[in-house]
A and B are shown apart, each in its own frame.
Chain A
């Protein structure tokens, strides 16, 4: 077989070159660009200076957006975990014939465009949305509440986007648990709750942590829910990048912020990979 050792390389070559040309090189390029100077008119000037980074940390405005991003991402992770673990456990223990249908349903939002899922909340939370309509109709309120354009609305949009990732990760991990372990625990006198706490919960932690990582990374890099459901004070780091690159065309500064975001996520992903291994995340995505 030695003479065929080139074969897998030939098979991988198109994919590897695509990732290299369209991802690795462009990402290296934003690092280079983040040191460039913005020209008042015309093309940006190649340079090696830290002005764009200095500008970010100049006062508290930009760092506070970074801190908010981390805070909102952690809140999203916590809420997805609380909302996602129990349904995943339900799928694992349920003996209903419709289990595959239920799982398919929870996967369905994956197939619906992110923008539609985000804007759909306006129909629920808006001044003429479902909640205000019901509250007014039953005379609980006299004038509509403003439920949109705040952090709560942003969190709802984020959770709806990311919850399936969490449920799936936890479920895949739970499915991998040998059910005879549970029977053993029960027959040795554990209560249902003890068996869950001592056997099921610890064994599901790889899925929990993989889900948390994925939700954190995807939240930290998104700008759509803050842009559509949030107010001026709810911008996250990705909104900043969008505004600098698309809005004010300040590419060097936009690049510097992108590099900072990548660095933050890079540190988190590498630390995770070092201690827990990244493959768990990919495992659940392939199922």
Chain B
């Protein structure tokens, strides 16, 4: 009886996985279908749509925009997020909990509202939509996730290591460079990767902020969808999936390898 109950649970879990991944697998499969209307059944295997993508200047520009935006977002948000995360993990001060909640609040505010709010704000400041708007917007969207991820990793870095360095005669700067920073590196990398991917993938708020000249890849896909789905969209989707999924997997692999020494 117990065994059959457990097998049911297992079967159910497998079905949930199928549900989660079937549509994504379909995107990847259909991107290799050479047929014009790229639907099932598969009529062969070709890179036709990938070649077409590579020849599409508008898509290449969107890729460049997304990469630049994602990189700058991750640099900026990690630079402001790491010190804040350290302050929360290392120090006690009045109002700590409320401030932490305030910094995490953007998670609970719908991106639509954030999109409208920033847009109206810059309109009031009489500024046009620009790349800076996208960058600042992405910083606000990614900041709470970076704080969460980094805080979780920082808890494990014990203060005693630094105190030991100090008591052995290192000055505070040396201590930071020789002890704290190396210990922090995994947290910094995790924060950067996380924010890069969120920025690279974001569409909900970005649609409010992007202009014709500032399109990111998800915004471009949204525009292409207006006509209906095409094998080209599936190919572009597959490139996005490979890029944003391989980065965390690679990072996880590297960090495990590094920590083993």
Q: Which residues of A are in contact with B by a Cβ distance under 8 Å? A: 5, 7-12, 14-16, 18-19, 22-23, 25-27, 29-30, 33, 83-84, 86-87, 89-90, 93, 104-106, 108-109, 111-117, 119-124, 126, 128-130, 133, 137, 159-160, 163-164, 192, 217-218, 220-224, 228, 238, 241-242, 245-246, 251, 254-255, 258, 261-262, 265, 269, 278, 281-282, 285-287
Contacts and interface: CB of A to CB of B under 8 A. Distances in A.
Interface string B7-40: 0011011001101111110110010000001011
A121 B20 CA distance: 11
B151 interface: yes
Nearest to B216: A113
Contact of B208 (A86, A93, A245, A269): A245
Given A87-B13, A116-B27, A133-B40, A30 B113 contact: yes
A104 B20 CA distance: 13
A111 B108 contact: no
Contacts of A220: 110
A135 B107 CA distance: 41
B245 A111 contact: yes
Given A30-B120, A163-B16, A262-B109, 12 more contacts: A7-B87, A11-B83, A87-B13, A108-B245, A124-B22, A126-B39, A164-B20, A222-B112, A224-B203, A242-B112, A251-B120, A262-B110
Interface residues of B, number: 93
Given A112-B244, A115-B221, A116-B237, A83 B41 contact: no
Q: Which 8 A-B pairs have the closest CB atoms?
A: A221-B110, A120-B23, A128-B39, A26-B117, A113-B201, A14-B80, A8-B87, A8-B91
Interface stretch (B53-61, B139-147, B161-169, B176-184): B139-147
Given A12-B84, A123-B27, A163-B20, A128 B37 contact: yes
A266 to B, nearest CB: 9
Interface in B98-113: 99, 101-113
Nearest to B217: A113
B34 to A, nearest CB: 15
A26 B113 CA distance: 10
A123 B112 contact: no
Contacts of B46: none
- Taking each of A124, A228, A287, which has the highest tally of chain B beta carbons within 10 Å of its own beta carbon? A124
B62 interface: no
A104 B249 CA distance: 9
A287 B194 CA distance: 13
Contact of A287 (B80, B112, B152): B152
Contacts of A115: 203, 218, 221-222, 225
B10 A11 contact: no
Contacts of A223: 112, 204
A133 B30 CA distance: 13
A286 B120 contact: no
A87 B16 contact: yes
B125 to A, nearest CB: 10
B215 interface: no
Given A5-B93, A128-B39, A282-B104, A112 B113 contact: no
A33 B121 CA distance: 10
Nearest to A94: B10
A27 B106 CA distance: 11
B116 A258 contact: yes
A224 B115 CA distance: 14
Contact of A129 (B12, B40, B109, B240): B40
Contacts of B105: 19, 23
A129 B86 CA distance: 50
B74 to A, nearest CB: 14
Given A83-B19, A129-B40, A224-B204, A119 B112 contact: no
A113 B81 CA distance: 23
B114 interface: yes
Contact of A285 (B24, B26, B148, B247): B148
A261 B113 contact: yes
- Taking each of B80, B123, B197, B240, which has the highest tally of chain A beta carbons within 10 Å of its own beta carbon? B80
13 contacts: A15-B80, A15-B147, A18-B80, A19-B140, A27-B113, A90-B9, A109-B24, A113-B201, A113-B240, A119-B221, A121-B23, A221-B111, A245-B116
A124 B229 CA distance: 12
